[in-house]
Amino acid sequence: MQLRRVVITGLGALTPVGNSAQETWQSLVKGVSGIAPITSFDASLFKTHFAGEVKGFDPTTLIDRKDARKMDRYAQFSVCVADEALRDSGLNLENEDRSRVGVIWGSGMGGLQTTEEEIIDFAKGDGVPRFNPFMIPKAIPSIAAGLISIRFGLGGLSFSVSTACSSSSHAVASAFDQIRLGHADVLLSGGADADVTYTGIGGFNSLHALSTRNDSPETASRPFSKSRDGFVLGEGAACLILEEYEHAVARGAKIYAEMLGEGMTSDAYHMTAPDPDGKGAERVMRLALRDAGLQPEDIDYINTHGTSTPLGDVTEIKAIERVFGKHVYEMNLDSTKSMTGHMIGATGAVEALACVMALKEGIIPPTINHDPEDIDEEIDYAINFTFDKAQKRDIRYALSNTFGFGGHNACLIFKKWEE
């Protein structure tokens, strides 16, 4: 069958560096760090005292106060970024067959804050089990997709993806497939997580996964530097409007970029650690390139997973080197997690948004916090990691990697929009 083309026509975001897609993009270009001491609870008893929090967020500016109380923070994020992306797209739902418009959403943890609060309240109580009647619908990772569908009356396909850190990349990949196969005309896709909680910080600390650079939080996320000591937990959400090309053209839509391909693999190796040989990461990039009909030398920019973990960064770079060969020295690589931290289920969508904007604007955001003297002997610094400052470049094709606990790998490829 003839596969349909898919374009990106709307963007929305809430991140540690901005409360909209455009504010997030401008902060990324400027190299702004969104990492700071945690304000939402007292983290002083934990090994890590800092995170990437969304700042100044008030859900009631968009969501009725009574309804907002029935939503976990991650779901509030989700509804708000979906609303922004829809407005940005200019899509008039009154003119649409809403059975052809749907939602595919990602979340790694779902309503962690809600689950935590309910269990703490129960433990403090008199032993009689009393739980909020909305506890379950607030906590489940699938509720965000349902709430978005309900809010906008979208009767098309609606489901959620939970593959840890790659959740929203898998969601976007799935939306791409559903549209090009003809199962939908428009899909709202992305993801959200709000894991900066006692449980989130404590749980990742117990895994020895987080940086403990408490004396300098804003420089703690330092991908590709030898002194990296773990990732920085973040929170946030992003939404992309994926639309069938002819449908977008027919309504005169603004088009940001075209999506060309996706890849999905499993390491099949370990619960939390990547395959040290990077075989799953290598395969996922090769699959995405084949799906997009591209050669390795076509790619200009890679937004790496780049979490700032000792093993993960090296493993990913080695896989990139095998896939791209000598062309690795002709590309720009970066890690926007150096600014946002790791937003778990939201990270893939935020980084896809960064790729889309980089293609549109011809600017590659930097990887911040690198000291030229802080050299990891296992990393080839002849590769352009876009350290310190954004770089202007005419980018034709961009690739985004995300890898999650359990060995879940996803890769997305986007193309610059040319009339």
What's the pTM?
Answer: 0.97
Give, for 87, the enclosing helix (H) or strand (E).
helix 73-89
Nearest to 16 by CA among 187, 169, 232, 179: 232
Contact 227, 374 (CB under 8 A): yes
The phi-psi region of residue 190 (left if phi > 0; otherwise alpha if psi is between -120 and 50; otherwise beta) is: left
> Which alpha helices (H) appear in 251-346, and where do they start and end?
279-292, 310-324, 337-340
Residue 236 has pLDDT above 90, yes or no: yes
Parse the chain into domains and list their residue ranges: 7-250, 262-416
- For tokens 């959400």, what's the residue? 237
The burial class, CB within 10 Å (0-12 / 13-18 / 19+), for 33 is buried
Q: Does domain 262-416 have CATH number 3.40.50.2000?
A: no
> What pLDDT digit, counting tens, does each position of 245-304 carry?
999 999 999 999 999 999 999 999 999 999 999 999 999 999 999 999 999 999 999 999
The phi-psi region of residue 293 (left if phi > 0; otherwise alpha if psi is between -120 and 50; otherwise beta) is: left
In 56-215, where do the E strands start and end? 101-106, 158-161, 186-193
Residue 225 has pLDDT above 80, yes or no: yes
Looking at residue 314, its pLDDT comes to 97
- 361-372 CB burial, b ≥16 within 10 A, e <16: eebbbbbbbbee
Looking at residue 233, its pLDDT comes to 98
> What pLDDT digit, counting tens, does each position of 182-195 carry?
999 999 999 999 99
Handedness of CA 86, 87, 93, 97 (dihedral sign): negative
Instruction: Say what percent of the chain tops pLDDT 90.
Output: 97
Looking at residue 85, its pLDDT comes to 98
Pairing of strands 408-416, 186-193: unpaired
Rounded CA gap, 87 and 79, in Å? 12
Looking at residue 150, its pLDDT comes to 98
Looking at residue 20, its pLDDT comes to 98
The phi-psi region of residue 289 (left if phi > 0; otherwise alpha if psi is between -120 and 50; otherwise beta) is: alpha
DSSP state of 372: T
The packing angle between helices 347-361 and 167-180, to 10°, is 60
Average pLDDT value over all residues in the chain: 97
Rounded CA gap, 317 and 320, in Å? 5
Rounded CA gap, 237 and 39, in Å? 19
Cα 110–chain centre separation? 14
Give catalytic residues, as residue numbers. Answer: 165, 305, 342
Number of H helices, E strands in the chain: 13, 14
Looking at residue 104, its pLDDT comes to 98
Rounded CA gap, 194 and 210, in Å? 16
> What pLDDT digit, counting tens, does each position of 303-361 carry?
999 999 999 999 999 999 999 999 999 999 999 999 999 999 999 999 999 999 999 99
Q: Report residue 411 as tokens.
A: 């890769």
- For tokens 């991140």, what's the residue? 15
> What pLDDT digit, counting tens, does each position of 83-133 carry?
999 999 999 999 999 999 999 999 999 999 999 999 999 999 888 888 999
Rounded CA gap, 351 and 87, in Å? 21
92-to-96, 248, 251 alpha-carbon distances in Å: 7, 12, 9
Rounded CA gap, 227 and 295, in Å? 34
Looking at residue 126, its pLDDT comes to 81
Rounded CA gap, 354 and 364, in Å? 8
Q: Does domain 7-250 have CATH number 3.40.47.10?
A: yes
Pairing of strands 391-392, 236-244: unpaired
Question: Mean pLDDT throughout 384-411?
Answer: 97
Looking at residue 71, its pLDDT comes to 98
